[in-house]
Amino acid sequence: MTSAKLLSDLKKARQAKNLSVLDLISTENLTLNDVELLLNLAGIFKKFVEGGAKKCDLLKGKTIINFFNENSTRTRSSFELAGKHLGADVINLAGSVSSGKKGETLGDSARTLDALNADILIIRDANSGAPFQLASLIRAPIVNAGDGWHEHPTQALLELLTLRERFGNKKLTYLFVGDALHSRVFGSQVRLYQKLGFEIRLAAPATLIPKGIENWGVKVFYKIEDALPGCDAVHAIRLQTERAAGKFVATGREYSKNYCINPARMALLNKGGVVLHAGPVIREFDLRTEVLESPNCLVQQMVENGLPIRMATEWLIATNPKQKANPWK
């Protein structure tokens, strides 16, 4: 696909529509129109990338800053690549080497990056709510690349794109397994899938179930074998040991024995049912290798879809004609 064809397909799909939000912090305030727009454009970007013509200049002259204060492999590399494929100038800053280490506050670091005329600030931070707090402090739109226990909206969108490729628009019966309490991926997905009318289930030990989750329309199970029958998809949530989740289970061994997705458990899904995981996967603990290597395990497709989802996100955010209020004036 040429850049001219890409632009023409994007314009046709976009029809002058813009996201209803100026920052992308949560899936909660995305409208269904926003979700469809992001997925449609991601589908076009995916064809463009798969066609081998990776570079275009849709964001030429724009500056995107990836500010990652927590470890990341797939999110950071795909946001960076997305910006580069779109022709933007991309700066990557890791918290471990930033002036935050010398005592600068997160707000002051963000203001500093804003003063460099960033067009988007993409942030990952261990503190829940950090992107929300920064959004009112700076002029540049913020994209949340994962904040603490709260949300990871583009991760939810890339999984939805993967599910749409397999199931179309079917309203799925969908099971989360594991550490929902500390998972920002769960936070974004549950908000998104509720909007889409999925039947949502959760199987986890009582200590890892967020309080009041039934009020979000989630049906709770303690035994995974009771939850799997009738499901189209199961998403294994990693035990978030970086958030001390290990202290919420008696032993890792017992947790894995009860909740790891193995071939026998996978076989309880509906025919054609799929296994999902946001990554990084802890082999033999979250998923057995036989499951990870099954054609119905969509982990690799999810990683691939991260790139077009982040291209669509960056393009829509950077070209939204509505501007945020400038806190500097």
Based on CB atoms, which residue is closest to ligand CP, 263 or 280? 280
Closest separation in Å from C-beta 152 to ligand CP: 6
Q: What 3-state DSSP class applies to 298?
A: coil
272 Cβ contact list (under 8 Å, min separation 6): 232, 296
Closest separation in Å from C-beta 159 to ligand CP: 10
HEC profile of 28-91:
CCCCHHHHHHHHHHHHHHHHHHHCCCCCCCCCCCCEEEEEECCCCCHHHHHHHHHHHHCCCEEE
Which two tokens mark 204?
A: 């986890």
Based on CB atoms, which residue is closest to ligand CP, 152 or 243? 152
Confirm if 227 and 221 have CB atoms less than 8 A apart: yes
Which two tokens mark 20?
A: 């209803």
HEC profile of 128-159:
CCHHHHHHCCCCCCEEEEEECCCECHHHHHHH
Based on CB atoms, which residue is closest to ligand CP, 85 or 235? 235
Based on CB atoms, which residue is closest to ligand CP, 56 or 275? 275
Based on CB atoms, which residue is closest to ligand CP, 10 or 192? 192
Closest separation in Å from C-beta 74 to ligand CP: 4
Instruction: Summarize as ranges the residues that interact with ligand CP (CB under 6 A).
Output: 72-76, 146, 152, 155, 278-280
Which two tokens mark 30?
A: 């995305």
Closest separation in Å from C-beta 11 to ligand CP: 31
Based on CB atoms, which residue is closest to ligand CP, 173 or 240? 240
Closest separation in Å from C-beta 190 to ligand CP: 16
Closest separation in Å from C-beta 326 to ligand CP: 31
Q: Count other Cβ atoms within 10 Å, centred on residue 321.
A: 6
